[in-house]
Chains A and B, each alone.
Chain A
Amino acid sequence: MKALMFGWEFPPHILGGLGTASYGLTRGMAEQKDLDITFVIPKPYGDEDQSFLKIIGACHVPVVWKDVSYQQVEQTLGGIMHPDEYFHYRDRIRYDFTRIGTNDIGCIEFSGRYPDNLLQEIGNYEAVAGVLAHSLDVDVIHSHDWLTYPAGIFAKQITGKPLVIHVHATDFDRSRGQVNPTVYSIERRGMDVADHIICVSDLTRRTVIEKYHQDPRKVTTVHNAVDPIPHVEQFVKTPRKEKLVTFLGRITMQKGPEYFVEAAAKVLQRTRNVRFVMAGSGDMMQAMIDLVAARGIAGKMHFTGFLKGKQVTQMLADSDVYMMPSVSEPFGISPLEAMQVGTPSIISKQSGCAEILSHAIKTDYWDIDAMADAIYAIVEYPSIYKTLSEEGRNEVNQITWDKAGLKVRAIYDMVINNS
């Protein structure tokens, strides 16, 4: 079976959870030996792991026919794509995309990020999908998140093959309800056209059914999983006297950082043997610094700024408690990562991952008392720390991508049989 996937990010160059999830899922699905995955992203850097799938960069696919020489193509593509492949696509251009600005070999430039002209970039990506749909032999099309829905729809219209869309987040999660109508209409159209919709949690599934008015029979939850951390044993806790409670993520409205600060203030009224860390950056950072000052806990609350890669894992391993008070989190991979290094997690019930974790403490995001209580308990009562740490690690090690991959495969089989 051949699957054509449209994504926006792929490790190692990632900007958010989407890239990690895309990698994990495709990697898990590659365990099924009869499945060929072609993964399209706007702009590859050439250092992506292609051992288990084929990556196509949208910026290397010609959309406008140009009479160019082999050498010229080879030079421009810089070894990331083979010139033969380029000519294969070039000879199958069926539409006139000259309105789009292209380079000398007829390819579109992509930023591969989330630029201001994002909508234009989405449209360009759609054009590339048109060329690919005419060039490739596929059985099923799979679009990850709203940016790639138009591409998926176009490919479906051309090939007549079933389209599966994967909802990693909706605009309702990102905006706390202040939905952008343009984004909504793109999302809505993708869901309407799709043969099946995969959601990363039941929470997201409910949003899709209730806010996007989809038929529940067409919407299935496939929970995300987590990849094992390489050399996890090297991340050990640095011994220290005081306990460490950590918030890690973008400091934005969606993540509920103010609830973390308020809970910290409550805990510090009672016990001084604990420090709080807010790692990450975001548009609410200044507001949080002000709030910390107003609560008079600046001496106990530390802002580290943006962390990446191993720093993140080390920070998690050093913590005694990891907190994710997200107001709305379609899935939320970070508590699973914390649990992988044996750090107890407190998560909001409004997070998708709460649906599959039993060895984490779950509270409502607004329930500061409950969060403070849980922090206090973990730092004061040794057995709850030990149990959450050990049982949590065992639990999270069972949540693997190959299981999620099998669920996605079952959906593929279903939509192919139905079409």
Chain B
Amino acid sequence: MKTICLYFEVHIPYVLKRYRFFEIGNDHYYYDDFACEDRVRYLAEKSYLPANKILLQLLNNYPQFCCAFSLSGAAIEQLEQYAPEVIDSFQALAETGRVEFLAEPYAHSMASLYDADEFERQVERHAAKIKELFGKKPSSFRNTDFIYSDEIGEKVASMGYKTILMEGAKHVLGWRSPNYVYQHAYMPKVRLLARNLVLSNHITFHFSDSSWSEYPFTADKLMDWLQSSPQEEQLFNLWMGYETFGDVQKDWTGIFEFLRAIPMLSPRYNVGFVMPSMVKEEPVASLSAPYPVSWQGEEKDLGIMLGNALQEEAVKKLYSVTERVNLCKEKNLKRDWLHLQCADYFRFMSFKPTWGNTFESPYDAFINYMNILSDFLLRVEAEYPTSIENEELNELLKTISNQEKMIEQLEKELKVAKKKKKEA
């Protein structure tokens, strides 16, 4: 039986406020709360709430239906703050037991490319948050923007995830179809699922495009296509941003009816559903990705996030302080550290077309981000001056903590001694 694997990304980057250079060192708050709230409320009302409502109905009415989500840390935090009812509705979905929540780096970051330890910390933090909210630890993984390479796959596997989602990029798949299960280049136990980017993009971008040759796109048409595909192709990974429903495609386009019709029609076409960790098929081949791929841009590489000198300077400066920030104890600093890693801010500095950009130009995005980052770095510097080497710092901290332990021990001894003296 052919099966559809539905997965939706829920991510809302924090909106950075206009931050001029003369605020560096004075103003340590970087977010435009009003714009954040506005965006979150808009998405909640136009997309998340109506779509979740439909999904819950579908889950109740069609026992074969299931789907998967991943929620970024920024999305969870902002939803908790501005639209907690969305979290409730996700929890209602989770209670059906047929909605899987995937793991991803908490900060929607590119840490996987720069710092393996930081990456691991973020994945763990995210998994813990998902367990707290939805009662189950994730067992499948998808990286920020589906960034994947052999090396990242290896790292993810070492954290205990056996299924990894990736983009069905042409330069990795080659002549192969995304509608099979694959395995890691040299770790056969790690299963790779590849997004069917053609079908997924039809839903997200072409659904209401009347100039598209296949317009109008109906659930019947989708089912027809699945049915007429080669017999051996069993798995269709339709993965997209959740805002596809109600934001990219507005409700008047009929996108919600489309969503509703998919499980309704599926028995007629003998099509089933599956969640990423439930995929049963055996891998047919291994995929090798020596260079990272992602789902961004036409090239499906890192070009949109890290393709120019502006992005490189910003990201290098940011990750130059990873170790120091992790030594810090200050909560606000740690919170900002996560927020500033959000991959979208780098994407906005691209000269290539990219969606959701609130800045007038890549230069504008760069200037604003660098000013904020400069302030952030000053705060890190104030905690741990860069004049001290990282290792030296570690030693000093170790000494301090050792001394603390020693003092504790000595105090204990002192107490015992005093007690003895008293008794004596």
Contact = CB atoms under 8 A, between A and B. Distances in A.
Contacts of B308: 387
Contact of A362 (B21, B24, B360): B360
B20 interface: yes
A270 B22 contact: yes
B20 A372 contact: yes
Contacts of B22: 266, 269-270, 372
Nearest to B367: A377
Given A377-B370, A381-B366, A387 B310 contact: yes
A172 B20 CA distance: 33
A383 B361 CA distance: 15
Interface in A368-403: 369-370, 372-374, 376-377, 380-384, 386-388, 391
A269 B23 CA distance: 11
A383 B21 contact: no
Contacts of A387: 308-310, 363
A358 interface: yes
Given A270-B21, A373-B367, A377-B21, A362 B313 contact: no
A384 B363 contact: yes
B: contact size bracket = 20 to 34
> Secondary structure at chain B's binding surface: helix, strand, loop or mixed?
helix
Interface string B1-42: 000000000000000000011101000000000000000000
A372 B367 CA distance: 11
Contacts of B313: 381-384
Size range of the interface on A? Answer: 20 to 34
Contacts of B374: 380
B95 interface: no
B312 interface: yes
Contact of A373 (B21, B314, B351, B361): B21
Nearest to B314: A383
A361 B363 contact: yes
Contacts of A361: 361, 363-364
Interface string A353-371: 0000010011000000110
B180 to A, nearest CB: 42
A372 B21 contact: yes
A348 to B, nearest CB: 13
A398 to B, nearest CB: 15
A370 B310 CA distance: 18
Given A362-B360, A383-B313, A374 B20 contact: no
Contacts of B366: 377, 381, 383-384
Scoring A266, A376, A377, A381 by chain B CB atoms within 10 A of each residue's CB, the highest score goes to A381
Contact of A376 (B21, B312, B314, B360): B21
Nearest to A388: B363
B371 interface: yes
B367 A384 contact: yes
Contacts of A382: 313
Closest 5 CB pairs of A and B: A383-B313, A383-B309, A376-B21, A377-B367, A373-B20
Interface of B: 20-22, 24, 308-310, 312-314, 351, 360-361, 363-364, 366-367, 370-371, 374
29 contacts: A269-B22, A270-B21, A270-B24, A361-B361, A361-B363, A370-B20, A372-B21, A372-B22, A373-B20, A373-B21, A373-B367, A374-B363, A377-B21, A377-B363, A377-B366, A380-B21, A380-B370, A380-B374, A381-B366, A381-B370, A382-B313, A383-B314, A384-B363, A384-B366, A384-B367, A386-B309, A387-B309, A387-B363, A391-B351
Given A361-B363, A383-B310, A387-B308, 18 more contacts: A269-B22, A270-B21, A358-B351, A369-B20, A372-B20, A372-B21, A373-B21, A373-B367, A374-B363, A376-B21, A380-B370, A383-B309, A384-B310, A384-B363, A384-B366, A386-B309, A387-B310, A388-B363
